[in-house]
Structure formats: structure tokens, C-alpha cells
Chains A and B, each alone.
Chain A
Amino acid sequence: QVQLQESGPGLVKPSETLSLSCTVTGGSISSFYWGWVRQSPGKGLEWIGSLSYSGSTSYNPSLKSRVTISVDTSKNHFSLRLSSVTAADTAVYYCARVVVGWFDRWGQGTLLTVSS
């Protein structure tokens, strides 16, 4: 059974770059697409971006200028970097497996707070 686990700093200062990692266990990161989704406190879901095991990416147009998603197949994990963060980026960040275009496996989520 594939499982995903997010890891990150928990707190980031405004204007800095947020970095999160998602480790995949119970299966290979190859042969699938993977993605990041976030949820601001009390709000709905927002897709951030997705990538394939080969590294090809697609991003939410509203975040594209600040987002980089990358994969490390040797470590079976993929990462999210979001630059120039503000309080509006405070959210629970989920990593998930993408099948065609839907998300069939999700991590438990990690809360990222932007504050000085």
C-alpha cells in the first residue's frame, strides 16, 4: 500500500522560500505522477502543481511564477519550493499521487505557517 508523508519546517518568515518534501513508501515513485495541494485554514482545496517521475511539470497559473516541484527518484521523494511567501500562503500542504488527473493517495498534510 503506497503511503505518502510530508515533511517541512512548520514556520517560514514572510518573503522567504518555503521548502517541503514528500516521501513515498510502499511503492516506487516511478510510473506515476505526483502533486501538491494546499488548504488554507477553514477554506477549500487549491492545486499547486504536479510532476511526473521523469520530471515534467505543470503548475497552477496563479502560483506558477513562485513554484518549483522536483523529483528525486533515487530517494523516492519529491519536493515543493514556493518563493516570496506571504501570510496568504499559510495552509496545510498535502502531497498526493496523481492518476490521470485525480488524486488517489494523499499524505496526512503538514501545516505551514508564514509569520515573522
Chain B
Amino acid sequence: EIVLTQSPDTLSLSPGERATLSCRASRSVSNFYLAWYQQKPGQSPRLLIYGASNRATDIPDRFSGSGSGTDFTLTISRLEPEDFAVYYCQQYGSSLTFGGGTKVEIK
């Protein structure tokens, strides 16, 4: 099983700032098979990124994904008030696993 470790656990930032979230895999994720989701309290997760760097439908371009192998990053270029949420990475290269999440909170 590929274990995904997300860091930091919590990111305290102000609106307008840049957010950089990390997702590290215990072994290489094949074919860039990594996705990112956003989840707000009381809501279902929302797909942001698939294939490590492809934005899902209707996702603003301030969200971007990068990385390969064992190290992946989700970047939010300028935080909007609605971006404060929990973010999860997920790999689907070998079975399917999620990371533990990073909470982006208002500083």
C-alpha cells in the first residue's frame, strides 16, 4: 500500500497569500496518478486536480498541481476567502489511498 503523508497538518495564512501544500508518497506513484480534493465543513469533497497537474472542470486557475514520483504539491496562488478548507491528496497508481489532509485556516 502506498502511504501518502501530507504536510503541514495546518497552514495559517491570510487572504491574498500563497499556499503551498505537500503530499509525499511512501513509494513512487506511477503515471502521475495523483489527485487533490478540497473539503469544507459539512460538505462532500470536491475534485480540484487529477493526473497531478490537470485542473478539474470549473476549478479556478489559482489552483495548480505539480510533482512526480514521490513528491507532489498543490499551490493556491492567492487565497480567496472561500479557499479556507481541508485539502486531501489521493493516489490511484497502486490500489487507492488518501493522505491525511492539510487544513488551510485563516490567520
Contacts and interface: CB of A to CB of B under 8 A. Distances in A.
Contacts of B1: 61
Contacts of B50: 99-100, 102, 104
A100 B95 CA distance: 12
Contacts of A106: 44-46
Contact of B47 (A45, A94, A102): A102
The 8 closest A-B pairs by CB, nearest first: A101-B92, A106-B44, A102-B35, A45-B98, A102-B50, A47-B96, A44-B100, A44-B101
A94 B44 contact: yes
Interface of B: 1, 33, 35, 37, 44-47, 50-51, 56-57, 88, 90, 92-93, 95-101
A102 B90 contact: yes
A46 B98 contact: yes
Contacts of A108: 44
B44 A104 contact: no
B98 A103 contact: no
